[in-house]
A = this chain, B = another copy of it.
């Protein structure tokens, strides 16, 4: 009915850009999000959250995100499941981003938050120019 996540954290690695069999761009990366520090001794705790982006936004993320960069991600939590090669059903939880803000950009490369470079707000990341399309789980490149 309603499903919205907002995260701020840092990339654990450079993002990975792939294409589905039908040529749709998709970029994935992991965001390290530190939990609020709980005074007590103890080490800092961190959640490592897998992020998926599609299409235009995927291209921009692939171009402008780098390992370590502070990044804001807006999207929805999704639980995908597939059968693995041992015939067991595996459940994967990930954040499908529809908005990504580059909080530490490399000015010398142009500002990714500016026009042309700016991630188009995709609305439904599964929709193309308003015409929703099907991304079949078998089409996924990962």
Which residues from chain A sit less than 8 Å from chain B, CB to CB?
1-10, 33-40, 42, 47-49, 70, 72, 74, 76-79, 93, 95, 99, 101, 103, 113-115, 118, 120-124, 126-127, 129-130, 132-134
Q: How far is the CB of A52 from chain B (nearest CB, A)?
A: 14
A72–B72 touching, CB < 8 Å? yes
Main DSSP-derived SS at the A contact region: strand
A36–B4 touching, CB < 8 Å? no
B42–A72 touching, CB < 8 Å? no
A97 to B121, CA, bound (A): 15
Total copies of the chain: 4
Task: Find chain B residues with CB under 8 A from A40 CB.
Answer: 132-134
Chosen A-B contacts, 8 in total, with CB atoms closer than 8 Å, are A2-B7, A4-B7, A36-B118, A37-B115, A38-B127, A38-B132, A40-B134, A49-B79
Q: How far is the CB of A120 from chain B (nearest CB, A)?
A: 8
Q: How far is the CB of A53 from chain B (nearest CB, A)?
A: 15
A34–B134 touching, CB < 8 Å? no
